[in-house]
């Protein structure tokens, strides 16, 4: 019987890139907090491909500071339907729906 990685804790390992995480298809819990991740696009790209991800911890990274913090949280909630916990807090279906609606409106405006 083949086992699969479902939990990965990379807290405080000086991780600077998370693009390679997108190949971990069955990952359910990911902790990449307190690292040196600076690229928001790369973070969103990786998380979008983790279709079973339920718990994500990303706090303590440079990308999650300042005005990008709320934007990235919204993008992650809008694109990761299976997420139920974000930085240790419960994510509700209403939060995910609001984030998706906001993203859809932004995309519709940019396509006009």
Query: What distance in Å separates the CA atoms of residue 112 and residue 107, rounded to the nearest whole number?
Result: 9
Q: Can you give the residue ranges of every domain in the chain?
A: 7-111
CA distance 104 to 102: 6
List pLDDT tens digits, range 13-48: 999 999 899 889 899 999 999 999 999 999 999 999
Contact 47, 56 (CB under 8 A): yes
Confidence of residue 110 (pLDDT cuts 50, 70, 90): confident
% residues pLDDT > 70 (the chain) = 96
Mean per-residue pLDDT, 53-73: 94
pLDDT in tens, 93-106: 999 999 999 999 88
pLDDT band at 109 (very low <50, low <70, confident <90, very high): confident
Pairing of strands 85-86, 89-90: antiparallel
Asked: is 7-111 a CATH 3.80.10.10 domain? The reply is: yes
The maximal CA–CA distance of the chain, rounded, in angstroms, is 51
Among candidates 32, 3, 2, which has minimal Cα distance to 20?
Answer: 32
């Amino acid at each position: 019987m083949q086992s699969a990685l479902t939990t990965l804790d990379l807290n405080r390992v000086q991780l600077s890139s998370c693009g390679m995480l997108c190949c971990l298809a069955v990952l359910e819990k990911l902790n990449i907090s307190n690292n040196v991740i600076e690229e928001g696009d790369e973070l969103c790209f990786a998380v979008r491909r983790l279709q079973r991800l339920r718990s994500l911890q990303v706090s303590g990274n440079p990308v999650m500071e300042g005005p990008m913090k709320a934007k990235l949280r919204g993008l992650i909630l809008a694109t990761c339907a299976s997420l139920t916990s974000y930085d240790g807090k419960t994510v509700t279906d209403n939060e995910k729906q609001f984030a998706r609606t906001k993203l859809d409106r932004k995309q519709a405006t940019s396509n006009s």
